[in-house]
Amino acid sequence: MDLPLSRAAVPRLEFLATAGSTNDELRDAANGPDAAGWPHGSVIVTDDQTRGRGRMGRTWMAPTGKTLAISVLLRPGLPGGAPFPADGYGWIPLIAGAAMTEAVRRAVDAAASVAPDEPEDDGTGGVEVELKWPNDVLVSGYKVCGILSELLPDTGAVVVGAGLNLTLDEHDLPAISSTSLLLVTGVQPDADAVLADYLHTFLHLFRAFAEHGADAAASGIADRVTALCSTVGAEVRVELPGGREILGVAERLDRDGRLVVRDRNGEAQSVAAGDVTHLRY
């Protein structure tokens, strides 16, 4: 896969014919003897990932050629060489999720512009593309992309992995709650265009975040993520590590990117990690 648009968006992009995990591949490269050759913004991509993983240790496989596994290397720092603040790391997966949400929205819009017009078409393509906290991208409530960020503790670098469903059909889907760009639009997606859009947007947003001292409010990141995030304002169930759960309303994101949920006893709780289900009655 040539990916000329995507290669132009980043300092280094390697496409692998197959990989166990692109996050593992990029982590090893970033920590290896040629680490200097993998600058901030470097990317590894494959359309055949055999040992993909997500949050809570989940693993999955996808048919070759129907998904993209994308890993981006960030080497966070502030202007002037100042160290990146620890509380800024919590926003990184949200920034990636926002970038992918916007890229998928534009891909859906582009597909709608070439699809046959239907009388009831309202110009939106009939779908909603939203971010579910912390980093799932949903199309009309179905998951099209998930994101997993991993810190490299020895260097402070971060590998941000994303799995995007491109052309999976109904028989390929990993779960009934999943979808793909092809299923959503009925149009073969342009993998290079979507990937390039995501990479450009992600690195642009992260640069703005860093230039403002990793302050999500001052950089506009908090407002941008909140506007995309359908979790904010929703009735939710949050399954926490250890088996505990919270039922309540997701009110907002706090300054560290945590989800603030007001439970049914009226108590506000900040959630840093957990599986979120949007409840519909």
DSSP 82: P
Q: DSSP for 91-153?
A: GHHHHHHHHHHHHHHHHHHHHHHHSPP-TT--SSTT--EEEETTTEEEETTEEEEEEEEEEET
Q: At residue 273, does pLDDT exceed 90?
A: no
Cα–Cα distance between 223 and 215 in angstroms, integer? 12
Q: At residue 38, does pLDDT exceed 80?
A: yes
Structure tokens at 124: 């939106």
Q: At residue 120, does pLDDT exceed 70?
A: no
Q: At residue 250, does pLDDT exceed 70?
A: yes
- Residue of 8 and 171 predicted with greater confidence: 8
Q: What is the dihedral of CA 50, 156, 40, 37, to 10 degrees?
A: -80
Q: At residue 206, does pLDDT exceed 90?
A: yes
The pLDDT of residue 118: 52
- Nearest CA among 240, 255, 235, 204 for reference residue 98: 204
The pLDDT of residue 123: 46
Domains observed in the chain? 4-227 (3.30.930.10), 232-278 (2.30.30.100)
The pLDDT of residue 156: 93
Q: Most confidently modeled of 49-53, 56-60, 94-98, 276-280?
A: 94-98
The pLDDT of residue 59: 57
Residues contacting residue 104 through CB under 8 Å, at least 6 positions apart = 129, 137, 139, 144, 145, 164, 181, 194
Span 226-246, pLDDT tens digits: 999 999 999 999 998 888 899
Q: At residue 54, does pLDDT exceed 90?
A: no
Q: What is the chain's mean pLDDT, rounded? A: 91
- Residue of 123 and 271 predicted with greater confidence: 271
The pLDDT of residue 247: 95
Report the pLDDT averaged over residues 193-220. Answer: 98
The pLDDT of residue 241: 80
Q: At residue 85, does pLDDT exceed 80?
A: yes
Cα–Cα distance between 190 and 193 in angstroms, integer? 5
C-alpha angle 214/216/221, rounded to 5°? 120
Q: At residue 2, does pLDDT exceed 70?
A: yes
Q: In the chain, pLDDT over 90 holds for what percent of residues?
A: 81
C-alpha angle 158/66/44, rounded to 5°? 25
Report the pLDDT averaged over residues 96-104. Answer: 98
